[in-house]
Structure 1
Amino acid sequence: MFSETRYALNGDLHVAYRASAPGERDVLFLSNWFTHCEVVPEMPLLSGWIEAMTSLGRLIFFDQPGTGASDPVARGAEATLEQWTDSISAVLDDLGSPEAVLIAVDGAFATGALFAATHPSRTTALVSLEGYADVFVDDTRTDARTDMLSLWGSGELQRLINPDMPWNEEIRASWARMERLAASPGVAATMLPFVAEMNVRAVLPSVRVPTLVLQHADDPYITPAMGRDIAHLIPDAEYVELPGSNMYHFVEPWRESFQVIAEFVTGEQASVADERVLATVLFTDIVDSTRRASTIGDRDWHALLDAHDAVVRAQLTRYRGREVNRTGDGFLAMFDGPQRAIRCAMAIRDAVRALGIEIRAGLHTGECEVRGDDIGGIGVHIGARVSALAAPNEVLVSSTLRDLVIGSGLQFDEHGTHELKGVPGEWRLYAVAT
């Protein structure tokens, strides 16, 4: 989908960039200080947002000098806002692009605002995603700078600043790799004060291009007050506040934000289909939980539930599962590998026995609709029905799933043919042999 990495000249510095196929318009993603254009377009967790954005036009990623695949700045020299702004011109010139929609994330808003004010004829529109003109305009914000430096390169920073995003070990490792390739800890320590101390409030009244300011209502780091400050200072800017706590608008859940961007850019409402993926779903629940709770009392029951939850989450991490939600006294999780899903269910079953708990588990592989953090569709419905038929300590799977793990070494016992409520036809089920 994207070109190989190319280089545009910003003075003597090579600015690395990648672009998707030409489209109706150019859309330039303004990097802040930790991106890597070789990595970002290939990250599976961003693929849905990237695919949606390319429907609007040619999407362009680039790395600012001193970061990612671009040249380092000279020893002893510091990055400047002017240098970062000149990178936009360099990339557009190298592509032969007369103008572009600028999509500015948190630490890149100042760059986009200065370019838009200076080069309005080259700025189709400016879109701010959790932006700030002056990070100190809201003294109630949470300051994450210490956490950013201490967590750099581990991927855990992304979980901190994007709490609504799905999370598992695979996602953490993906972010960790991107961070390490984007900037070393030393570069991160240099760049963080640079982006945190930018103040372009005086520039904003000179921004005369169509501007959209998108803000999550519960982001503690880039707060709504900071977004409203931008919208107040830019003439005729449109301010939209969306539910959520994420700093990023390009990770799940991203669809509502994208639809606002698409309508602003194109003048038409975008139809974004729920993402449909093939996945293995796992349902678990505690056997006889109501009687157990009444026997030991609320306090002890809640303590036992907390221990159970910790065990389940530990096994989901181990087997690359994604927790979707709690289902009463159980879990709904999804996996990108059927064998891992079954082994995870077995591990959960065995591990909770030490707590004096029995569970039942049901699994099915099928097409699911990803709706932000939630999933739905017939595949999920079948998984729930399979789980309801499982006996205590039993891991029950559909024939679809059983057929996908032939040769894995897993053994199964026949569990008969069943009608699943609300699902057409008869289904052959199998119990995992222990």
Structure 2
Amino acid sequence: MDRYDIPVGAYWPDEIDRALAESAFVLGLLSPDSVASRNVKNEWDWALQNGKQLVLLKTRPCVVPHRYVSVNFIEADAGRFEQALGEVVGLPGLVPATTDEVLPTTRYARSGDVSIAYQQFGTGPIEMVWVPGTYSHCEHTWRLPVIAEHFNRLGKLARVILFDKRGSGMSDRVSAAAPLEERMDDIRAVMDACGVERAVIFGLSEGVPLSLLFAATYPQRTESLVLFGGYASEGRKEDYPWVPTLDERREALDVEARTLHEVWGTEGLGKEKCAVFAPSLQDDRQAVRWMADLMRLGASPGASLALNRMNLLVDVRDLLPTVRVPTLVFHRTGDRACLVQEGRYVADRVPGATFVELPGDDHVPWAGEQEQFFRVLKAFLERSDDGTDAATELDSVLATVVVVLAKGVQDDELAARAQVAASRFRGRLALGGNGTELVVTFDGPARAIRFAGAVCRDGTIATGSLRAGIHVGEVVTHRTWVIGRPVDVARGLATVAHPGQILVTGIVRDLASGSGIRFEPVPDVLVETMPDVPEPLVVDRASLA
């Protein structure tokens, strides 16, 4: 009550009754004023009658009422106050509240030109990166006791990196919602800042697609995956029928946008969000206030809407078979934010994944049942930490493949232009041949598209012409060569493209959502020449400027 105060308009007796019922200890101050107060003595009597431990501190000389003389009190006058406080803190069973002084230190890592806030805590034998949901706040997270308890317990199993994604919490605000590709860079940035080469990636909710993309793209840096309350697609698909269509989601966001600024950060909306994300805590006033505060501290109403709109195109279904690290998928039976069918879908399509259905309705791991969750997690982490170098067992990775086809171009002309662009956009030059073909791999589609735009430019180079095709998928790489179906698909796209044109597949568009790059449909006559290419699109070159 002292921490959160009784809100304006609340009924005092109800608030006091609630606080007394939730307490394990009742601390009373013996003074002439308190022993003269009927209300104070009623609260002390209630504590004794209901099995609460009544702790009395005598702060000023007074006559102790007869019914309390059998309760040993602590002398706490001005000369003994510090000593008395020490005795109170040392009482058996008393758990000190989490305070700012005991929070992990917040530091910053650099991801491109963005500063990412992170904390590191725990003493466990394995490294872990906690990937949060839509928005978070490193320091506010610890202010709800159930979360602090959850994380302290998690810290006994691992050394945990907790961070706020760009645009949320204590990290730098950005001008627009960041695509998955850039948010994936934030994971690498905090790992590098902590000197962590490989870690267990723990993804929660909206952090699940991001964690899957990271594990598929960087298996050499992913010890294993733990996913909780996640999903594979924001919109309904033929094989993913449990969620609304994209049009229905857009309509819902449009409706929400009209009044969100009026209710953002209020206790009313905090209670609504608790009812969805942590229903077991929806009647807990402290949790409701914490949720309301998280909204204000984690993101603005506009930032939340922008991120939700950008996330509409998140669809990692095709990436699931490319994840080749040990994976544990948790989902609660009655999850109201993401249906349990969505968790099963992910687990069914990630090779070798283990699916664990937990009882309850809570979407977040720190609310609801804890014992089974930690028991299963501990066993999984112990199996993962067996000394095996998973990266050496993997012969494939997820990559965005660019194939540039050239006609009438000299080797050195194409190579010079490609080397400059590859360095700029972090590409890996895989092979080239007689000035006619260039294959380059990237860890994200937006960089791959901008590379292709830089190389192709206006479609000409000296006396020749250039065109490009791009696809995302699982490839096998070795030094200077790369093979796999994505190379064949990208090559097929480049073959039918016009000079200067960049053709891509639908999955490239989906993963590049939020990058500002625009795409247009390919003419039907061209689609007919590519029957095996999934949803071909042409890049709007003007959007690359």
TM-score norm. by structure 2 comes to 0.46
- Which protein has greater RCO, CA pairs closer than 8 Å, 6+ apart? 1
2:148 to 32, 44, 47: 47
1:11 to 77, 95, 112: 112
Q: CA deviation at 1:87?
A: 0.5
- Name the CA distance, whole Å, in 2 between partners of 1:10 and 1:39: 22
2:216 to 99, 102, 117: 117
Task: Give the stretch that moved more between structures: 214-223 or 83-92.
Answer: 214-223
Q: Does residue 87 in structure 1 map to residue 203 in structure 2?
A: no
Q: Does residue 131 in structure 1 map to residue 247 in structure 2?
A: no
- Name the CA distance, whole Å, in 2 between partners of 1:181 and 1:222: 24
Deviations 1:314-360 (A, max 9, x none): xxxxxxxxxxxxxxxxxxxxxxxxxxxxxxxxxxxxxxxxxxxxxxx
Residue identity in the other structure for 1:230: V
| Residue 417 of structure 1: aligned partner | none
C-alpha contact 1:8 1:94 (8 A) present in aligned 2: yes
Deviations 1:206-253 (A, max 9, x none): 110000111111223311211111112111011111111111112233
Larger CA Rg, structure 1 vs 2: 2
| Residue 204 of structure 1: aligned partner | 320
Residue identity in the other structure for 2:184: T
| Residue 165 of structure 1: aligned partner | 281
| Residue 293 of structure 2: aligned partner | 177
| Residue 83 of structure 2: aligned partner | none
Q: Does residue 230 in structure 1 map to residue 346 in structure 2?
A: yes
| Residue 39 of structure 2: aligned partner | none
| Residue 214 of structure 1: aligned partner | 330
- Name the CA distance, whole Å, in 2 between partners of 1:248 and 1:195: 19
Residue identity in the other structure for 2:186: S
C-alpha contact 2:276 2:336 (8 A) present in aligned 1: no
Residue identity in the other structure for 1:59: V
| Residue 249 of structure 1: aligned partner | 365
2:127 to 14, 18, 26: 26
| Residue 315 of structure 1: aligned partner | none
| Residue 188 of structure 1: aligned partner | 304
C-alpha contact 2:229 2:330 (8 A) present in aligned 1: yes
- Name the CA distance, whole Å, in 2 between partners of 1:219 and 1:118: 29
After superposition, the CA RMSD in angstroms is: 2.2
Q: CA deviation at 1:165?
A: 3.0
Query: 1:64–1:80: structure 2 CA closer, same or farther, 3 Å change rule?
Result: same
2:379 to 249, 263, 280: 263
Residue identity in the other structure for 1:216: R
**Uncovered stretches (5+) of structure 1, i.e. residues with no partner:** 269-434
Q: How many residues align?
A: 266
| Residue 56 of structure 1: aligned partner | 157
- Name the CA distance, whole Å, in 2 between partners of 1:159 and 1:148: 17
**Uncovered stretches (5+) of structure 2, i.e. residues with no partner:** 1-101, 385-545
Aligned to 2:224, the other structure's residue is in SS state strand
| Residue 153 of structure 1: aligned partner | 265
Residue identity in the other structure for 1:82: E
| Residue 205 of structure 2: aligned partner | 106
Pairing of 1:255-294 with structure 2 (within 5 A): 255-267=371-383
C-alpha contact 1:2 1:19 (8 A) present in aligned 2: no
Q: CA deviation at 1:7?
A: 0.5
Q: CA deviation at 1:57?
A: 1.4
Residue identity in the other structure for 1:153: G
C-alpha contact 2:228 2:329 (8 A) present in aligned 1: yes
TM-score norm. by structure 1 comes to 0.58
Deviations 1:384-420 (A, max 9, x none): xxxxxxxxxxxxxxxxxxxxxxxxxxxxxxxxxxxxx
- Name the CA distance, whole Å, in 2 between partners of 1:64 and 1:208: 25
Aligned to 2:235, the other structure's residue is in SS state helix
Q: CA deviation at 1:196?
A: 4.1
Q: CA deviation at 1:2?
A: 4.5
C-alpha contact 1:101 1:127 (8 A) present in aligned 2: yes
Residue identity in the other structure for 1:253: E
- Name the CA distance, whole Å, in 1 between partners of 2:170 and 2:111: 14
Q: CA deviation at 1:197?
A: 3.1
Deviations 1:99-158 (A, max 9, x none): 111111110111101110111121111111011111335444479965987464232212
Residue identity in the other structure for 2:265: G
Q: CA deviation at 1:79?
A: 0.6
Query: 1:148–1:224: structure 2 CA closer, same or farther, 3 Å change rule?
Result: farther
| Residue 167 of structure 2: aligned partner | 66
Pairing of 1:350-369 with structure 2 (within 5 A): none
Pairing of 1:241-390 with structure 2 (within 5 A): 241-267=357-383
Aligned to 2:202, the other structure's residue is in SS state strand
Task: Give the stretch that moved more between structures: 16-25 or 123-132.
Answer: 16-25
Q: Does residue 37 in structure 1 map to residue 138 in structure 2?
A: yes
- Name the CA distance, whole Å, in 1 between partners of 2:243 and 2:371: 26
Query: 1:3–1:48: structure 2 CA closer, same or farther, 3 Å change rule?
Result: closer
Query: 1:111–1:167: structure 2 CA closer, same or farther, 3 Å change rule?
Result: same
Aligned to 1:127, the other structure's residue is in SS state strand
Task: Give the stretch that moved more between structures: 25-34 or 253-262.
Answer: 253-262
Q: CA deviation at 1:187?
A: 0.8
- Name the CA distance, whole Å, in 1 between partners of 2:382 and 2:339: 27
C-alpha contact 1:2 1:18 (8 A) present in aligned 2: no
Percentage of matched positions with identical amino acids: 32
- Name the CA distance, whole Å, in 1 between partners of 2:369 and 2:264: 24
